[in-house]
Structure 1
């Protein structure tokens, strides 16, 4: 049985759709469809039931999923261990990160290229979970309360958040409570975020006038005067169109840089991780809401997201 076929099967099973599997594998929807059909033909089995809700595993598919996941775990662990023995300061390091940090990371990577021209980088920015355990990335920069114990790294800073409104189009009359203003917040797909939970707990649903799954869109809506929003301070403090109305420091979110223990001694991973950690540590005043004007990170302009472990 071909490992590429098993990888394809696992991607479809986890995503529940051809489109999601294609994104995870970096191939077209039509390619996933063709290869999945070919794999089922080779096996003489139907692995998925196709329906309006996506691809659901058949009994044969569920049996194969259990075995394929075990094979994947063994192969990925072997790949990580072998990668960890590579002592050269050359090769590619894959980073999963937040879109909002792109300006800072680009600046840090430019300096890193001068120091280590033999190391190349690949950057993944996505809403989808990126697994270090499955070696989908070598380094993850993520916002988290508590990273998994299976990962190692360091906490860069505890993030401070704030309630922001438009400076020139204030939706909140002087002296009014925050709950009386219109608000923008995250859509249901990101309702698990602490920012979204704070809004749900403190702002009546009748005051929510816009929902979206994209942080950059939320900031643009607040800037336009549609309503108030809750954001990490490093995204908004230097924006002259926005004003911080309240500071919230108890959301329990930290910025971490993480890797898998099998890669901790891989020279190219270690030197890049140390370099990025130092570059981000220099931004602590911004991350903690004490930033000089003009030094904010930029809100996501693409599909920014949350790398995970």
Structure 2
């Protein structure tokens, strides 16, 4: 059985479409379809059933997943063995929530690419949990550890969040000296029914029941705060990127959350991915510490 056909089979299984697999593999959908048909002829069974939602695995297709992934790991190991002394090269796709993706990973990617010029880093910013089983990314940063799946989970670092507002807003509205004062202010937060992880439910920490402006994106929330639209809970590591934004009641409203690095269990056999995971973890820890230290030292706080 041709490994290249199995590679295409895995791409279709993970994306559930010919076009999605084609984009991932750099080939057109019709070519993907022909290769799947060839593989089905070789095994003597249909591997996919076309449904309104896309291409679903048949029972025969599901049985082929494990041996195909084993072949994939063997191919990766063989590739690494031929370039062991060539440094870290090739593509690394990292999935992350948009706070991490916008405010941490650009600097982390810059430094890793400087250290390893042959490395290509793709940052996938998604307002949901990245699906590693479908290989949406090689590894993912999450705000809580998953409780299902064949995954390797590593705690990265704690990070801090505070209530914040822009100086323009704070200077033109009544002073805030206590939690009770917040009821007279506009709040900015997540769209309640689009909170994909319980760790992101920040509004309850303020004692305010609803927000005037909401978004499923941390970056949009920060831009609304920068525009002077109201107050919101923000990552301390994002504040250095938002001139004029100051923490409010930092001694009364202070949250601590954690980032977790998640990998597919099969990738433990990959020396390259293991080393990249170690470097990524070190870099994220260092960048969170660097940015939070800036906030502590610069006095970005009121009240």
**TM category, shorter:** 0.5 to 0.7
Q: State the partner residue of 1:233.
A: 236
**Counterparts of 1:112 and 1:131 in 2: how far apart (Å)?**
28
Q: Does 1:272 align with 2:296?
A: no
Q: State the partner residue of 1:145.
A: 144
**Counterparts of 1:211 and 1:22 in 2: how far apart (Å)?**
34
Q: State the partner residue of 2:260.
A: 256
Q: Does 1:76 align with 2:69?
A: yes
Whether the 8 Å CA contact 2:143–2:197 is kept in 1: the answer is no
Deviations 1:67-122 (A, max 9, x none): 43443344224313542463325542423144222332133223322xxx4x4223
Deviation at 1:46, TM superposition (A): 7.7
Over alpha carbons, which structure has the higher Rg? 2
Stretches of structure 2 that go unaligned for 5 or more consecutive residues are 41-45, 299-303
**Counterparts of 1:89 and 1:139 in 2: how far apart (Å)?**
23
Q: State the partner residue of 2:215.
A: 212
**Counterparts of 2:279 and 2:32 in 1: how far apart (Å)?**
41
* Distance 1:192-1:133 versus aligned 2 partners, 3 A rule: closer
Q: How does 1:179-218 map to 2 (within 5 A)?
A: 179-188=183-192, 190-194=194-198, 196-199=200-203, 202-205=207-210, 208-218=211-221
Q: Does 1:94 align with 2:109?
A: no
Secondary structure, in 3 states, of the residue corresponding to 1:159?
A: strand
**Normalising by structure 2, what TM-score?**
0.67
More helix by share: 2
Deviation at 1:195, TM superposition (A): 6.0
Q: How many equivalent residue pairs?
A: 268
Secondary structure, in 3 states, of the residue corresponding to 1:124?
A: strand
Q: State the partner residue of 2:43.
A: none
Q: State the partner residue of 2:182.
A: 178
**Counterparts of 2:13 and 2:142 in 1: how far apart (Å)?**
30
**Normalising by structure 1, what TM-score?**
0.66
Whether the 8 Å CA contact 1:185–1:212 is kept in 2: the answer is yes
Secondary structure, in 3 states, of the residue corresponding to 2:212?
A: strand
Q: State the partner residue of 1:285.
A: 289
Q: Does 1:243 align with 2:265?
A: no
Deviation at 1:245, TM superposition (A): 0.8
Whether the 8 Å CA contact 2:113–2:119 is kept in 1: the answer is no
**Counterparts of 1:10 and 1:157 in 2: how far apart (Å)?**
30
Whether the 8 Å CA contact 2:129–2:196 is kept in 1: the answer is no
Q: State the partner residue of 2:301.
A: none
Q: Does 1:48 align with 2:28?
A: no
Deviation at 1:164, TM superposition (A): 1.0
Secondary structure, in 3 states, of the residue corresponding to 1:125?
A: strand
Deviation at 1:256, TM superposition (A): 2.8
**Counterparts of 1:81 and 1:233 in 2: how far apart (Å)?**
43
RMSD: 4.2
